[in-house]
Amino acid sequence: MKKILTSIFIAFHGLVLIAQSDDDALFIKQLHSYALKEGKAYQWLDTLCLKAPGRIAGSKSSSIAEQYMLEVLQSLKPDTVFLEPCETKSWMRGSIEIVETIDQHGNRHELHTCALGNSIGTEGEMISGECVEVLSLDQVDSLGNSLKDKIVFFNRPMDPSLVNTFHAYGSAVDQRVWGASRAAKYGAKAVIVRSMTNKIDTVPHTGTLVYIDSLPKIPAMAISTLDAEKLSEKLKNENITINLASSAQPGAASVNYNVIAEWRGKQFPEEIILFGGHIDAWDMGAGAHDDGAGCIHAVDAINILLAQNYLPKRTLRVVLFANEENGLAGGKTYAENSNKRNEKHLAAIESDTGGFVPRALSFDSETSLLIDYMRYVNQWLPLFETYDLNFKQAGSGADINPLKSQGSLLIGLRVDPQKYFDFNHTKNDQIYNVNQRELELGAATMASIIYLLDKYGLETKN
């Protein structure tokens, strides 16, 4: 009899799981259908890009963006909506950006260039130096003091053999971030850096650098990949002098705001599911892909859920982070304040890889929890495979990473990466380079994982 009862229980439990799976599949289908037919993602992103392009921390545009997104969230009638202040450092590009080459015959050629974020300038004055090409920070160390008074040209390309362009970016970006301080250590006057993209064109890409406080600060400029290719060829045959001028300068300390809205859970209000992106963007473009798309993914995700009359069990919180690009002040401030309030984030979801078609969800957490988390969420994978999505264990976002210490499951919305670095940190990061349908699918994907996390929570053996 005991075996019979056990068999009946197992069979009944299996039928319940199948029924739940069918219900979930139907609801997720509704989310996608609504996103594609009635979602507001593209409309909101278009307005954000129009109202607040170049919304770097400390700028007037950044304040306009924060206010606009606050109004959008208020229109969705959250239980709470507010601005969370965080201290940021402003930076101004200025109007002068010149890099030109002079060959041994005195021929001059101006390159396509832009200052790197946080770089000092030359106060608009031209400086000159012999160009020395390097492919790594280690090569700078090996050349040592021979770089005194030179202008160092970092020219290691992103690896085109890597299918995931974010991996290629990660393997090359150390030149941009640390190159200026490494060259300054040996007396270099300035650095120029090959733009971080696989695309060979004339468009320069900005991006942040980090100065080491104990070393001199020298100017740093990005040049286009096409100019980098041509300069490298010239250097094989002759010495080249670089003339460089920039009016970039650090600005005053400023205050920006995380934009936050939440819908309180009816059953487990103390368990928070966060989802968002970063509201700031580099000053050269409109920040459509980086990271207007991520912000809009989050806002339209809650809009899609609310349109289904969905009542959350857990607290759903949208956070649009300030100052990701050149300081991460928003993410750090949010985590610090959350810890002071003794909050518990069940999960945090970040979108910061653009508005292209979604391909995967990445999962990360403390090592002691991640195996159990992955085992649990993998039961949902069939629901996403219908939409050509997969799950993977990987890092999930710079702004949410500080929440790992709370034992949270960190989730990244990963989109197709092939074109992202065509636009990243350039003047071409514009709304017309975002496909409306792909953007809407990203919002639907985010809404789907929020729904499952809210409905079922998470289980671990610990």
Q: For residue range 337-392, list pLDDT tens digits in order.
A: 999 999 999 999 999 999 999 999 999 999 999 999 999 999 999 999 999 999 99
> Which pLDDT score is estimated for 460?
76
pLDDT category of residue 448 using cuts at 50, 70 and 90: very high
Q: Please say whether the beta carbons of 301 and 443 come within 8 A.
A: yes
Question: What DSSP line would sit under 196-223, residue for residue?
Answer: S-SS-SS-----B----TTS----EEEE
Phi, psi of 178 (to 5 degrees): -110, -5
Q: Please say whether the beta carbons of 393 and 363 come within 8 A.
A: yes
Residue 229 vs residues 129, 151, 157, 158: alpha-carbon distances, Å: 19, 17, 10, 13
> Which pLDDT score is estimated for 21?
81
β-bridge partners, 349 = 275, 411
> Which pLDDT score is estimated for 450?
99
pLDDT at 257 over 70: yes
> Which pLDDT score is estimated for 152?
99
Q: For residue range 82-126, list pLDDT tens digits in order.
A: 999 999 999 999 999 999 999 999 999 999 999 999 999 999 999
Residue 208 DSSP code: B
> Which pLDDT score is estimated for 9?
46
Q: How far apart are CA 257 and CA 67, in angstroms?
A: 9
Query: Which H helix or E strand runs over 357?
Result: none
Question: What is this structure's pTM?
Answer: 0.93
> Tokens 């970040």 map to which residue?
350
Write out the two tokens for 135: 């492919």
Q: Please say whether the beta carbons of 445 and 300 come within 8 A.
A: no
Nearest by Cα to 337 from 145, 148, 83, 158 = 83
Q: Where are the beta strands (DSSP E) in 268-380?
A: 268-278, 314-321, 344-350, 358-364
Q: Please say whether the beta carbons of 57 and 329 come within 8 A.
A: yes
Question: What DSSP line would sit under 48-67, residue for residue?
Answer: HHHH-SS--TTSHHHHHHHH
| Other CB atoms within 10 Å distance of the CB of residue 386 | 11
> Which pLDDT score is estimated for 14?
47
Q: Please say whether the beta carbons of 365 and 394 come within 8 A.
A: no
pLDDT at 2 over 90: no
Q: Cis ω on the peptide bond leading into residue 290 (within 30° of 0)?
A: no
Q: How far apart are CA 153 and CA 47, in angstroms?
A: 39
Nearest by Cα to 136 from 183, 196, 80, 195 = 183
> Tokens 């956070």 map to which residue?
319
Q: For residue range 191-234, list pLDDT tens digits in order.
A: 999 999 999 999 999 999 999 999 999 999 999 999 999 999 99
As a whole-number percent, the residues of the chain with pLDDT over 70 amount to 95
Rounded to 5°, the CA angle 166-168-170 comes to: 70
Question: What DSSP line would sit under 91-153, residue for residue?
Answer: EE--S-EEEEEE-TT--EEEPPEEEPBT----TT--EEEEEEEESSHHHHHHHGGGGTT-EEE
Q: Please say whether the beta carbons of 206 and 116 come within 8 A.
A: yes
Q: Please say whether the beta carbons of 424 and 279 come within 8 A.
A: no
Phi, psi of 401 (to 5 degrees): -55, -35
> Which pLDDT score is estimated for 19?
54
* Helix/strand/coil for 39: coil
Phi, psi of 36 (to 5 degrees): -80, -25
- Average pLDDT over the chain, rounded to an integer: 96
- Give the N- to C-terminal CA distance of the chain in Å, as an integer: 34
pLDDT at 10 over 90: no
pLDDT at 190 over 60: yes
| Other CB atoms within 10 Å distance of the CB of residue 399 | 28
Q: How far apart are CA 225 and CA 207, in angstroms?
A: 15
Domains of the chain by range and CATH?
27-91+252-456 (3.40.630.10), 96-247 (3.50.30.30)
> Which pLDDT score is estimated for 461?
66
Compute the average pLDDT of residues 412-420.
Answer: 98
Q: How far apart are CA 317 and CA 315, in angstroms?
A: 6
Residue 403 DSSP code: G
Tell me whether residue 367 is exposed, middle or buried, using C-beta atoms within 10 angstroms of its C-beta: 0 to 12, 13 to 18, 19 or more.
exposed
